[in-house]
């Protein structure tokens, strides 16, 4: 369990660092007060998803996940570390919410398609990251339900759930690529879901 919480802490730190280092930049092409266009991939085609809708979908997946991370860490710091029943309840809640958000975002991104051919590699990386991580969390929950917190081997069995954890540094690389791309970085600063996520992360990191 401690290993899983440590990974959650790294995941949270990665997101806070990324938001605070790149979320407030300005772009000469941005338009104050602009909102996401109503044009969707259905109109623009699979290889030309609207950048604001695309980045907004990314943030829709990450936002609930990071909220869940901090809720999980809060539980652990407030007594959950020594209470297997609280650990199980907190993990079930986190896995369910984060797993669904990430899996849904992966599916939606795949349906939208890449914003441009130049972004295809990043798009594919994110679809895989969201899909694999979401599925891993869902799988962990299905196995976690069967564990008994009163079992002396609970902590050991907990560590074995869900297979390998997603590498947080991979997400950091993807966020950096997104923010440094002229069009996607500008879209990231405009998408309502990304604005809300950045503000939340900055408040947590301050």
Kindly report the number of other CB atoms within 10 A of residue 166's CB atom: 17
Express the helix, strand and coil content of the chain in percent, nearest 5 each. 75, 0, 25
Read off the pLDDT of residues 28-64 as tens digits, 9 standing for 90 and up. 333 333 333 333 433 444 448 999 999 999 999 888 8
Cite the DSSP H helix spans in 25-116.
41-44, 51-77, 84-112
Q: Is the dihedral of CA 130, 43, 180, 198 positive or negative?
A: negative
Residue 167's pLDDT is what? 59
- pTM of the predicted structure, to 2 decimals: 0.76
Kindly state whether residue 28 falls inside one of the protein's structural domains.
Answer: no
Kindly state whether residue 18 falls inside one of the protein's structural domains.
Answer: no
Residue 179's pLDDT is what? 84
> For residues 45 and 42, what is the distance between their CA atoms, to the nearest angstrom?
6
Residue 54's pLDDT is what? 97
Structure tokens at 20: 């605070």
Residue 3's pLDDT is what? 47
Distances (CA, A) of 111 to 40, 77, 88, 116: 10, 39, 34, 14
Read off the pLDDT of residues 92-126 as tens digits, 9 standing for 90 and up. 998 898 889 999 999 999 999 999 999 999 999 99
Kindly state whether residue 12 falls inside one of the protein's structural domains.
Answer: no
Residue 42's pLDDT is what? 39
Structure tokens at 47: 């290889």
Structure tokens at 154: 């609970």
Kindly state whether residue 184 falls inside one of the protein's structural domains.
Answer: yes
Backbone angles phi, psi at 184, to 5 degrees: -70, -35
Kindly state whether residue 111 falls inside one of the protein's structural domains.
Answer: yes
Q: What is the mean pLDDT of the chain?
A: 77
Residue 173's pLDDT is what? 80
**21: Cβ–Cβ under 8 A, 6 or more apart, which residues?**
none
Residue 103's pLDDT is what? 94
How many folded domains does the chain comprise?
A: 1
CB burial class (10 A; 0-12, 13-18, 19+) of residue 104? middle
Residue ranges making up the domain that contains 182: 47-200
Kindly state whether residue 31 falls inside one of the protein's structural domains.
Answer: no
Kindly state whether residue 32 falls inside one of the protein's structural domains.
Answer: no
Kindly state whether residue 59 falls inside one of the protein's structural domains.
Answer: yes
């Amino acid at each position: 369990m401690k290993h899983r919480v440590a990974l959650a802490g790294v995941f949270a730190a990665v997101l806070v660092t990324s938001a605070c280092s790149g979320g407030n930049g300005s772009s000469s092409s941005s338009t104050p007060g602009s909102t996401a266009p109503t044009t969707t991939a259905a109109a623009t085609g699979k290889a030309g998803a609207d950048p604001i809708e695309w980045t907004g979908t990314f943030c829709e997946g990450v936002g609930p996940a990071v909220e869940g991370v901090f809720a999980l860490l809060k539980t652990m710091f407030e007594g959950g570390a020594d209470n297997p029943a609280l650990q199980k309840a907190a993990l079930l809640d986190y896995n369910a919410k984060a797993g669904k958000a990430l899996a849904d975002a992966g599916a939606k991104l795949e349906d939208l398609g890449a914003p441009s051919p130049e972004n295809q590699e990043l798009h594919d990386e994110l679809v895989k990251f969201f899909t694999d991580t979401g599925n891993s969390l869902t799988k962990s929950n299905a196995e976690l339900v069967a564990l008994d917190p009163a079992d002396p081997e609970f902590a050991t069995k907990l560590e074995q759930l869900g297979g390998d954890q997603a590498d947080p540094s991979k997400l950091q690389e993807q966020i950096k690529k997104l923010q440094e791309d002229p069009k996607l970085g500008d879209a990231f600063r405009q998408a309502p879901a990304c604005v809300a996520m950045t503000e939340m992360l900055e408040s947590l990191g301050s």
